Amino acid sequence: MAQPLPVSPLALPLPALGPVRGVRLGAIAAGIRYKGRTDLVLAEFDPGTTVAGVFTRSKCPGAPVDWCRAILPAGRARALVVNAGNANVFTGRAGRETCEQTAQATAALTRCTADEVYLASTGVIGEILPAERITTALPALYDALSETGWEAAARGIMTTDTFPKAARRTAMLGGVKVTIQGMAKGSGMIAPDMATMLSFVATDAVLPAPLLQSMLSAGVKRTFNCITVDSDTSTSDMVLLFATGAAGNAPPASASADAPELADFRQALDSLLEELALMVIRDGEGATKLMTIDVTGAVSDESAWRVAMAIGNSPLVKTAIAGEDANWGRIVMAVGKCGEPADRDTLSVSIGGVCIAQNGTVRDGYDETPVVAHMKGQEISIAVDLGLGEGRARAWSCDLTHGYIDINGSYRS
């Protein structure tokens, strides 16, 4: 078994976490793939918990993604089971049977129906996931569940991650203070929609499933769908948001996610999702630098997003960042290749707040010195103005180093 990876130089410490009323969770070592570490997570939610979800758009999704998609329309959840080390993808009937057996065993423990049990798996593709390793470990795991099990759970879902990822927020809803807390895993195979990335968020707010879904879908679009490590979309990604209702706030009067009464909750949720998404980029496989890419002046927000992602996905841009080379021509290349409306003669490019190129050529008097200094830092700012309209977008990426090859060249060993 490969040795643990060194912690990313961009890692952030785990923030202070606390309970979320109506949630108990924990982790255990089930021996699914890893030895000597936890790899199975279980969460139990109070009766009446509502749920929303966003899933990968891969045409080859894992069996757990199919399972969750099938039960999501009911909008109810009582449990979540996540395993690391085996993605349960491309496993045919065996994969479906593992999902069924896992859900049934969990339902018996949590006294609910199997269609209230959500499942997620992450790890190697194409290997059978033995259901008995999960079902055998579940009773002891269930007995040890705790309101304070969040850190253990965040560590239990890691694969090539080098640090656990979690965030916490509070908000006012209906005059009541509610809590939102979530965790994520992801390091490589990160690109919309969404990434080898799992994220699970819970709140104690009373929120109906349709409202929850509207807010989650909008929040993911601005956060998890604006990050990329390597342009590869996983078979297994999902973001699930659970609302236990334990805070006891009055249900929102409006059915619209844009209602003013939801503004504080919506802002807190978006902030939490962004923090988790950026932690994923900070743990990009082999990453040493975080890139923030702002595109303005596009013909639409969607067009701006496509341009920003083209820059973030470009191997030439990413290797220039890794080499601390202020090669802005690679940014121009990425803009020009992506198929979105662009005009060389209205384009401007800035790095680290310094305008380098403008109106189709290098800016008069351009001094590369401050840009070179900026490139030596860990956080790199790139701004592109297309000069065509009002569309804007922000995306995040990381550099591409030999570490990415080392990790992925030996992933199964």
Instruction: State yes or no: 185 annotated in a binding site.
Output: yes
Could you say which DSSP state residue 258 is in?
T
**233 given a catalytic annotation:** no
φ, ψ dihedrals at 280, nearest 5°: -60, -45
Please report, as a single letter, which amino acid is at residue 18.
G
Instruction: State yes or no: 98 annotated in a binding site.
Output: no
Instruction: State yes or no: 159 annotated in a binding site.
Output: yes
| Tokens coding 287 | 């990453």
Q: How far apart are CA 207 and CA 250, in angstroms?
A: 9
Order of strands, sheet of 117-124, starting from the edge strand that comes earlier in the sequence: 23-28, 40-45, 79-86, 117-124
**97: number of CA atoms within 13 Å, CB side?**
9
For 47, 146, 407, the CA distances from 398, given in Å and listed in that order, are: 41, 36, 15
| Active-site residue, selected from the candidate residues 38, 196, 223, 235 | 196
Nearest to 67 by CA among 102, 28, 110, 23: 102
Token pair 């965790």 is at which residue? 183
Q: Checking phi first, is residue 22 left (phi over 0); if not, alpha (psi -120 to 50) or beta? A: left
Instruction: State yes or no: 83 annotated in a binding site.
Output: no
Instruction: State yes or no: 413 annotated in a binding site.
Output: yes
For the four alpha carbons of 242, 72, 175 and 167, in that order, the dihedral sign comes to positive
Token pair 């999704």 is at which residue? 61
CB 126 within 8 A of CB 90: yes
Order of strands, sheet of 391-398, starting from the edge strand that comes earlier in the sequence: 361-362, 354-358, 348-351, 379-385, 290-298, 391-398
Instruction: State yes or no: 337 annotated in a binding site.
Output: no
Bond preceding residue 193 cis, omega within 30 of 0: yes
Residues 6+ apart with CB under 8 A from 117: 77, 78, 79, 80, 81, 102, 103, 106, 107, 110
Q: How far apart are CA 244 and CA 230, in angstroms?
A: 35
Strands 79-86 and 117-124: parallel
SS3 letters across 168-194: EEEEEECCEEEEEEEEEEECCCCCCCC
Q: Please report, in range form, the residues annotated as the binding site.
A: 159, 185, 196, 285, 408, 413
Q: Please report, in range form, the residues annotated as the binding site for substrate.
A: 159, 185, 196, 285, 408, 413
What residues are labeled active site?
196
